[in-house]
Structure 1
């Protein structure tokens, strides 16, 4: 974790020391799993190209195939008017068929737990042949009400997927703590509902990466991989996403710990490569807050393209997405090499 600000650095971030501390058995397991884990192209890595450029969902499939990835994670709204949300069923089925021809697994994402939004996303997942549906709550109000409403929202999961084709993941998305997410899963009690661990989203809830990973570890099924810088914000922490390898996150160590989850087979089934340089999220939780803090309303995530030439910004985003694939594979190679005994 490079030049992390005071109060944010945490013990255990030295990945070489972590790998050296592993038993021979765990080191062999890490070395084996680091060779070819399931890496997915994430549409948010092309967020600006989807919003302001000409990128459409099939282009993400092409990117994943060119770079030898296992699948794609795509939001229902990626591509604006060209998105899966606005596509007729025939186009959704064609998208799924293209993914199948390329040997790619599809994961669908939405930024809501409201019943109409979940139903819409599940319909898209079924039409495309997707295997996973991710969501997160955006309720506002006292924390106790946010938790209760989210639990009530997720009571419909079986009705959305009566043939049990989908796995479901709840993402920590900046406002809820790890303990609160685990409590939601326990209260919902759905056998195919797990957590999606994002490398940086815990920062805004006042948690540090490795502490959040340790807390969520038993229930993590999928991951969003990115780097970010922690910024002091009104007594809490904001996060500014940045190019992989330039932030404050212990990425090697997080990858190693996630790869080790699961004894007989890997617990994490998808690592989404979610490069998102320039995405800024404010602090949502603060030290000393009461037992029932108020969660403010917020829109779905967006990145400001910033000033300057938009075409250059779109080109940079595409370059960074390619670079992240290379950097993450280099990190995995580092871990595999260090695990050799």
Structure 2
């Protein structure tokens, strides 16, 4: 397996700073969520269609692979106008991913809005994420559903396929969220392994259904070693990325502390 990190760890950084952090930490993969303080990646000059090739070369010349564009696309609304806007966001982000040579675009199932009928919402999410997967496939990019929100368990993810979701939708295994919802790593892999394309790792002092916080890798309560053991046993050859949510939680440690710490611990665990 190969190691990398999400730019949510350094939300205000530009590309040169991201590259420098990855190289100094000995990491190979980049997942773009934030750049220059924004998640609106299409607004950035470096990610304009005319400059994507140049930006891709900057990463490649540094020996780095852009693996994922971390979109916030979700299809949990029933309003057709809202759904159309999400599909347009998928097109824009898939185009950026393709231009950077990233094989994946992250999507969410999202929380189930309490004011909406549960069954109708689940059916709409299954249909909508399938439509998004078809859109990104047109760009040569695979949509990957993060285990998160109301889709943090294997059963909740598999239910979308039972409802007819396009099989082109794959899975991003966020290990913290499956763990805090009671799943053992080996059980998650047994259920979702053939669909998993990418993995997130982060640690937490508190990690249960009521919520979580943030701890430097190996210093919290999450059984980080168990994820690496399962991935190694399965022969997983994809990327494992550190997702340090500095972009949403500015009070946590800076990336120049947390990212190299993750890299060091992950290597000690045999990654």
Q: TM-score range by the shorter chain?
A: 0.7 to 0.9
TM-score by length of 2: 0.80
Q: Distance in 2 between matches of 1:56 and 1:63?
A: 11
What residue is the counterpart of 2:3 in the other structure?
A: 39
What residue is the counterpart of 2:88 in the other structure?
A: 116
RMSD: 2.6
What residue is the counterpart of 1:260 in the other structure?
A: 233
The size of the alignment, in residue pairs, is: 249
The answer to whether the aligner puts 1:84 opposite 2:41 as a matched pair is yes
Which residues of 2 match residues 1-341 of structure 1 at below 5 A? 37-47=1-11, 50=12, 55-75=13-33, 77-80=34-37, 84-87=41-44, 88-106=48-66, 107-113=68-74, 114-138=86-110, 140-141=113-114, 142-156=117-131, 157-162=133-138, 165-176=140-151, 177-186=153-162, 187-191=164-168, 193-202=169-178, 206-210=181-185, 211-230=187-206, 236-261=209-234, 266-276=235-245, 303-306=248-251, 316-332=254-270
Whether contact under 8 Å (2:9, 2:243) holds in the other structure is yes
Distance apart, 1:180 and its partner CA: 1.5
Distance 1:258 1:81, change over 3 A: closer
Whether contact under 8 Å (2:25, 2:259) holds in the other structure is no
Whether contact under 8 Å (2:26, 2:263) holds in the other structure is no
TM-score by length of 1: 0.65
Distance 1:230 1:146, change over 3 A: farther
SS at match of 1:147: helix
Larger mean CA deviation between 176-185 and 220-229 belongs to: 176-185
Distance 1:63 1:125, change over 3 A: same
What residue is the counterpart of 2:81 in the other structure?
A: none
Q: Distance in 2 between matches of 1:254 and 1:200?
A: 10
Whether contact under 8 Å (1:57, 1:83) holds in the other structure is no
Q: Could you list the runs of 5+ residues in structure 1 that have no partner in the other structure?
A: 1-36, 278-301, 307-312, 334-341
